[in-house]
């Protein structure tokens, strides 16, 4: 199918919810993607922080295919090895006590919201259900996670939203102001992704953590985007030096397969009980086998490489024309520019580089395993486009 034909079919039959860029992704290798007609792209997006080890990673593929050759799905009424092994690995690497598996970031957060409310209900009875999130946050597209999302632009059309959320300024004082007697949880991204790649201040986050502990308000960290090595530590909370009560993750976890995880730490490990929550596809054995292959290879050596690549990228991007600032952590890079981000992203694409945007920033989320040659090729294109 040629590209024109594909675009026409897509436009005719697919709900018009995405303003797609003009490129087909057909196949690839590492951080190099190709359309069917052979046009190549350097990938500074990994989907959106999903393809952690790039495309066609041999070890990941072997693990996924081996599981497909055994069984592709089993109901959660039965046991499967990849799910139990992945939960064990997540707990060992984080100190979490229990994991609930779903299929996406929104679902991982949905589970966290339910668990936070139940924790509070069990301990304090009815009425303590309010959750504080941050202005400019993004927690997903379901009704509950949209309600949790602190962006006015997303709170349209679908009224009424779920009751019991309010949005704080990105500081300790801001959060404290929104917390009251009915508050059961504070939920935040340590680096706001969709909101413009803003890393929260470590001191503020530590104060929020302390306050939550004092008030028995659960601290929920949304690591859907920041998790799984993306920021240079396995999870971003680790470099903030905090101990959350719930951590959610998804995007990069299974290296490209849909998988969400909600990790419960000590306080709420027993909160959810049989019948409280569930998912038909959640914790699918193929996705879990993929995640085991990714997670077991995010070791100190890889994290050091991520940090090195991050420093390298940031240094070079910081020197480019029309760049006003570089934000984010690790391989989650925001670039504030004196140009229209969408137009820059389109021009990059024409020349063979995929970059993402977040608000009016460029956003780079390359595969963790991107090679130096690929980084340099991508930076060359970005520099050309920004120089115009
Ligand atoms: C992408 C994202 C989500 C939503 O994940 P989906 O898999 O699209 O449901 C939630 N929180 C954060 C921080 C995200 O970046």
List the chain residues with pLDDT less than 50.
Answer: none
pLDDT in tens, 10-41: 999 999 999 999 999 999 999 999 999 999 99
Q: Is the pTM higher than 0.85?
A: yes
Measured in angstroms, how far is the CA atom of residue 108 from the centroid of ligand 1? 9
pLDDT for 97: 98
Beta strands in 259-387 (DSSP E): 260-264, 323-329, 332-337, 353-354, 356-358, 361-364
Helix 341-350 crosses helix 372-387 at what angle (to 10 degrees)?
120
Q: Are 44 and 379 in contact (CB under 8 A)?
A: no
Q: Is 250 in the pocket of ligand 1 (CB under 6 A)?
A: yes
Q: Which of the listed residues 193, 198, 258 should we mutate to test ligand 1's pocket, taking the one with most ligand atoms within 8 A of CB? A: 193
Share of the chain above pLDDT 90, in %: 100
pLDDT in tens, 149-194: 999 999 999 999 999 999 999 999 999 999 999 999 999 999 999 9
How many C-beta atoms surround the C-beta of residue 320 within 10 A?
17
Atom number in ligand 1 closest to CA 48: 1
Q: Which of the listed residues 47, 48, 106, 188 should we mutate to test ligand 1's pocket, taking the one with most ligand atoms within 8 A of CB? A: 106
Q: Is 223 in the pocket of ligand 1 (CB under 6 A)?
A: no
pLDDT in tens, 199-223: 999 999 999 999 999 999 999 999 9
Looking up tokens 């792209």 gives 41
Q: Is 252 in the pocket of ligand 1 (CB under 6 A)?
A: no
Q: Is 226 in the pocket of ligand 1 (CB under 6 A)?
A: no
User: Which residue owns the Cα nearest ligand 1 atom 8?
Assistant: 105
pLDDT for 377: 98
């Amino acid at each position: 199918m040629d590209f024109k034909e594909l675009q026409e079919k897509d436009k005719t039959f697919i709900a018009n919810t995405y303003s797609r860029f003009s490129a087909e992704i057909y196949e690839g290798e590492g951080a190099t993607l190709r359309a069917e007609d052979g046009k190549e792209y350097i990938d500074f997006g990994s989907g959106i922080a999903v393809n952690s080890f790039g495309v066609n990673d041999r070890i990941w593929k072997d693990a996924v295919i081996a599981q497909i050759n055994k069984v592709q799905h089993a109901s959660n009424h039965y046991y499967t090895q990849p799910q139990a092994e992945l939960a064990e690995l997540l707990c060992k690497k984080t100190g979490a006590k229990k994991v609930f598996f779903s299929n996406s970031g929104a679902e991982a957060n949905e589970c966290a919201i339910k668990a936070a409310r139940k924790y509070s209900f069990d301990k304090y009875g009815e009425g303590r259900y309010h959750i504080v999130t941050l202005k400019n946050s993004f927690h997903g597209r379901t009704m509950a996670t949209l309600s949790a999302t602190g962006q006015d632009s997303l709170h349209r059309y679908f009224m009424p939203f779920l009751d019991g959320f309010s949005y704080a300024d990105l500081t300790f004082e801001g959060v404290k102001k929104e917390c009251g007697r009915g508050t059961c949880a504070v939920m935040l991204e340590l680096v706001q992704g969709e909101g413009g790649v803003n890393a929260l201040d470590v001191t503020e986050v530590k104060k929020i953590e302390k306050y939550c502990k004092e008030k028995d308000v659960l601290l929920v960290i949304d690591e859907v985007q920041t998790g799984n090595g993306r920021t240079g530590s396995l999870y971003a909370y680790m470099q903030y030096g905090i101990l959350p009560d719930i951590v959610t993750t998804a995007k990069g976890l299974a290296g490209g397969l849909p998988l969400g995880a909600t990790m419960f730490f000590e306080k709420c490990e027993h909160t959810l009980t049989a019948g409280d929550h569930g998912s038909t596809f959640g914790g699918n054995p193929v996705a879990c086998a993929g995640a085991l292959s990714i997670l077991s290879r995010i070791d100190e050596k890889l994290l050091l490489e991520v940090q090195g690549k991050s420093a390298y990228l940031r240094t070079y991007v910081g020197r480019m024309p029309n760049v006003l600032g570089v934000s984010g952590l690790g391989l989650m890079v925001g670039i504030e520019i004196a140009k229209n981000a969408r137009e820059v992203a389109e021009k990059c694409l024409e020349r063979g580089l995929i970059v993402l945007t977040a608000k009016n920033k460029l956003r780079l989320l390359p595969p963790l395993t991107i090679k130096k040659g690929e980084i340099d090729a991508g930076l060359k294109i970005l520099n050309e486009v920004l120089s115009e």
